[in-house]
Structure 1
Amino acid sequence: MNTRTLNTFSKIYGLAGIRVGFGAASEGIVRTWLQVKEPFNVNALAQAAASAALGDEEHVQASCRMNEQGRQQIYEGQSRLSIPYYESMSNFILAELGEHAEILYHKLLERGIIVRYAKGWGLPGHIRISVGTAEENQEPLDAFGEVLVHTT
């Protein structure tokens, strides 16, 4: 059996800074992972944080609600700006910007707004926007409003 599962504690558990995750797979896949993984395992503090996070269902539910609200905020903002997007169940949204995607990506970076240009995934007309707090979500929307006027 070649099934596998990999998960991180980054977004839903709020532990992105400690770089911890877990995986489950068949023995052959695990052996392969062990050949390429970093030489040191996750430290004791990170392990304790991850273990505590697994038992904090209230935090997970609050994170899910915040992420859903953030996605809705971005969807509504992009709809107002007539920017097509793909609905997501994750912590990011793929926005379709067409031929101006790379230019807009660089203009956002110049403003300190970090998004991902999706050309590397075979989607040169798209960018990926991570969902954050209401204020963080509003920043790219405001910038789109200003940048789109000067680009198109």
Structure 2
Amino acid sequence: MTCAPNAMIEHHVYFAIFGFDHDPAQLDVLMGQSADDYWREGESFSATVPEALRRENRWIISSQLDETASHRDHFEKLLLKLQRLHSQLDNLPDDYRYGIGVSQYFFMDDPTFYLPDEILEGFKALGFDISFDQLGLDHGA
């Protein structure tokens, strides 16, 4: 990644299972580990906007790295966690959905995004199709 020396970048990279109607903590047994976070349908997103409610249950594994760590580091750590869960992913009920979520906030004029082939191939081997879209907002947005 190329960025200006004082550019600020925030990353959030996570894997989530959703599409189920029970308490997300129940997936800990099936997955063989506790989630890093749980979303429960009907819970508030935050204390600052209590009327904004979560619309679904989620079981979440994250990179658990600081949000200023590089996106490569986030993806590498998440990939290692998911590789350990490969057989459990294969045993999820067919109606459960899952995927990888990424939020990346750039505070600079010319962001670039790059992941090496070995990371992309690692996710592909687990059955994830990887594609990226970037949305750029100008100063007036």
TM-score, normalised to structure 2, is 0.22
- Rg larger in structure: 1
- Report the TM-score when normalising by structure 1: 0.21
Question: Which structure has the highest strand share of the two?
Answer: 2
Per residue, is there more helix in 1 or in 2? 1
**Higher RCO (Cα < 8 Å, 6 or more apart):** 2
